């Protein structure tokens, strides 16, 4: 495709426009370093305009109370997104390097998942009577009422630009909020294309606004510093999440933060190794290891440790990596040079600290272009080391050996500040459940299962976040609650 094939302007109050500065910046394909397109470089004045539009739509229209109309708009949007699914698959591969093997999960599955939220828009109990109660001599009937916060400031990461954008936009819409979505600087084109699709529906101007900026801090600070934004919904790093939470404290604004993970995958001594090793590799290397809930920390009992390492070395050495446009590719490019350097540094320091690299452990080369790191297994990792305690965000599996009983396995798994997801492998399902119940993580997956679905709450413990995404609980996290009392009848 040519550069002009992609929309790169801001979308504010139902219209596409350039940044007021007139500035644009290049969006780079991480596979070959070519320019995919250019995007408008929003400044604080553009963020102000976007919030103004969202504030007006929240305050001066019936968007927040007309549940049937919102559902109509969401169903329109879902149909339109389905029609553009192939174009979105091409785009997220171009700007984010999403590998072919996971493209359906990043795009098609997310569009299908709108069904749950579309239905909730009208089926959710927006008002509930809770009966009468007498206090201070007054007998009162009480009613609970749920109302949208108003304006949501949403910020998406680069690793899953379509997935996180569709979540934040459609969840805001379904609950009656308006939204200003700021895309990650590396991946602004997906948001702009989503705005193109929205502009063809009956979604009123100002309900959804999309902005992009080359410097995440400039636009991000303008958005989080605007007192007219009622709620922030962010996916990204704990450091940025903490800053958003601190800024949201000015005005006591609501926050939902999903902040990454260092998810443990426990292989108990009775694990089915055929399944556990294959699943462990897939759930670490999926999306090129650039995923928040991936099983990047494999904790293996001493009795099976050597056999597991042999299997991992064979599997990962033969893992398809390279061209992300190929449907069989598992590991594609790293998003940018700085992230590649970070991965390289963490693996090199792990080796210096005594860990063994079984395969990979170095940059990949595809004609001298792009940002590549070979699928890597690092064995004999100390549970307290840097690579065991910090998110690598690349195709790197760290393997930790433990001895003892399940109490020790749980202790090692819980030895982390993160708590986004966890995995347990055992032939004894009751045993696996006992372990799962003790893991400090918002989601836990037993054997060949995975929690992700629009109806399943997704929340982080520890520094992995606050609040809930998805499910009825996630729907409610976009809503304020009000209790109204009236004289009992």
Q: Among all chains, which residue has been given the structure tokens 């007054």?
A: 138
DSSP 8-state symbol, 383: T
For residue 338, the tally of other CB atoms under 10 A from its CB is 9
Structure tokens at 367: 């004609």
| Dihedral angle sign, alpha carbons of residues 174, 152, 162, 361 | negative
Residues with Cβ < 8 Å from 279, sequence gap 6 or more? Answer: 423, 425, 447, 448
Q: Which of 15, 23, 33, 258 is catalytic?
A: 258
Q: Tally the residues of the chain.
A: 489
3-state secondary structure (DSSP) of residue 128: strand
Residues with Cβ < 8 Å from 34, sequence gap 6 or more? Answer: 28
What is the distance between the alpha carbons of residues 146 and 149, in angstroms, rounded to a whole number? 10
Q: Are 464 and 418 spatial neighbours (Cβ–Cβ below 8 Å)?
A: yes
* Closest by CA position to 70, among listed 170, 184, 194: 170
In 269-405, alpha helices (H): 273-285, 302-317, 337-352, 386-389
Q: Among all chains, which residue has been given the structure tokens 């982390």?
A: 416
The answer to whether 258 is a known catalytic residue is yes
What angle do the packed helices 44-60 and 216-224 form, to 10 degrees? 40
Cα dihedral: 245, 250, 253, 259 (round 10): -10
Strand 208-211 and strand 264-267: the pairing is unpaired
Active-site residue set: 258
């Amino acid at each position: 495709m040519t550069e002009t094939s992609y929309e790169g302007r801001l979308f504010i109050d139902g219209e596409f426009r350039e940044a007021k500065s007139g500035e644009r910046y290049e969006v780079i394909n991480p596979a070959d370093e070519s320019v995919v397109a250019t995007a408008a470089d929003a400044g604080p004045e553009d963020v102000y305009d976007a919030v103004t539009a969202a504030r007006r739509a929240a305050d001066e229209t019936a968007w927040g109370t007309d549940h049937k109309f919102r559902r109509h708009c969401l169903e329109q949007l879902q149909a339109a997104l389905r029609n553009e699914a192939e174009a979105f698959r091409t785009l997220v591969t171009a700007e984010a390097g999403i590998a072919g093997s996971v493209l359906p999960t990043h795009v098609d599955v997310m569009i299908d998942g709108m069904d749950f939220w579309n239905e909730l828009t009208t089926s959710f109990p927006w008002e509930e009577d809770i009966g009468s109660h007498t206090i201070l001599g007054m007998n009162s009937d009480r009613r609970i009422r749920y109302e949208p916060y108003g304006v949501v400031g949403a910020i998406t990461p680069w690793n899953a630009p379509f997935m996180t954008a569709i979540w934040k936009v459609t969840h805001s819409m379904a609950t009656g909020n308006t939204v200003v979505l700021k895309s990650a600087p590396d991946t602004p084109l997906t948001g702009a294309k989503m705005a193109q699709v929205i502009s063809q529906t009956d979604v009123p101007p100002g309900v959804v606004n999309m902005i992009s900026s080359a410097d995440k801090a400039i636009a991000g600070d303008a958005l989080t510093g605007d007192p007219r934004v009622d709620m922030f919904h962010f996916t990204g790093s704990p450091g940025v999440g903490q800053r958003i939470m601190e800024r949201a404290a000015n005005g006591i604004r609501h926050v939902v933060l999903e902040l990454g993970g260092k998810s443990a995958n426990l292989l108990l001594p009775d694990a089915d190794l055929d399944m556990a090793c294959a699943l462990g590799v897939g759930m670490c290397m999926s999306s090129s290891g650039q995923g928040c809930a991936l099983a990047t920390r494999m904790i293996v009992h001493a009795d099976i440790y050597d056999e597991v390492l042999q299997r991992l070395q064979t599997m990962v050495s033969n893992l398809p990596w390279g061209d992300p446009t190929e449907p069989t590719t598992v590991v594609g490019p790293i998003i940018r040079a700085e992230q590649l350097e970070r991965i390289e540094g963490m693996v090199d320091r792990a080796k210096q600290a005594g860990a063994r690299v079984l395969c990979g452990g170095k940059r990949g080369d595809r004609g001298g272009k792009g940002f590549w790191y070979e699928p890597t297994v690092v064995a004999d990792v100390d549970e307290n080391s840097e690579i065991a305690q910090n998110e690598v965000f690349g195709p790197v599996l760290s393997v930790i050996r433990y001895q003892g009983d399940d109490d020790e396995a749980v202790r090692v798994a819980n030895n982390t500040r993160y708590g986004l997801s966890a995995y347990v492998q055992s032939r004894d399902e009751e045993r696996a459940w006992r372990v799962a119940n003790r893991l400090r993580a918002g989601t836990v997956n037993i054997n060949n299962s995975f929690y992700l679905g629009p109806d399943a709450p997704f929340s982080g413990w520890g520094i992995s976040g606050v609040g809930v995404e998805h499910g009825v609980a996630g729907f409610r996290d976009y809503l304020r609650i009000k209790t109204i009392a009236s004289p009992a009848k």
